[in-house]
Amino acid sequence: MRGRQVVLRRGRHIGWWVEGRWASGRLFMKTWWPTQGLARVVARFVGGRADAGGGAEAVDSDAS
């Protein structure tokens, strides 16, 4: 899982986006979830740990 970063972003109206990118910046995953809790579970599973945040939060797999 090294070299990947996962970011949680609040949806425009509802829900949360989980966006995963390789270290090179290439997208490897982008999914939408209806609640922040579900999005955080997916982010942890794919990229490591998730910290609480308002708009966007980064989850770096190198940290785990």
State the average pLDDT over residues 4-26. 92
- The pTM assigned to this predicted structure is 0.68
Task: Please check whether residue 60 lies inside any domain of the structure.
Answer: no
Task: Please check whether residue 62 lies inside any domain of the structure.
Answer: no
Q: Is 17 left (phi over 0), alpha (psi -120 to 50) or beta?
A: beta
Beta strands of the chain (E only): which ranges?
Answer: 4-10, 16-22, 27-33, 56-60
Task: Please check whether residue 9 lies inside any domain of the structure.
Answer: yes
Task: Please check whether residue 63 lies inside any domain of the structure.
Answer: no
Task: Please check whether residue 26 lies inside any domain of the structure.
Answer: yes
In this prediction, residue 19 carries a pLDDT of: 93
Residue 24 is classified by DSSP as: T
Band (8; pLDDT cuts 50, 70, 90): very high
In this prediction, residue 41 carries a pLDDT of: 92
Domain around 45 = 4-53
CA distance 61 to 54: 20
Domain count across the chain: 1
The tokens for 56 are 């966007």
Task: Please check whether residue 17 lies inside any domain of the structure.
Answer: yes
The tokens for 58 are 């980064």
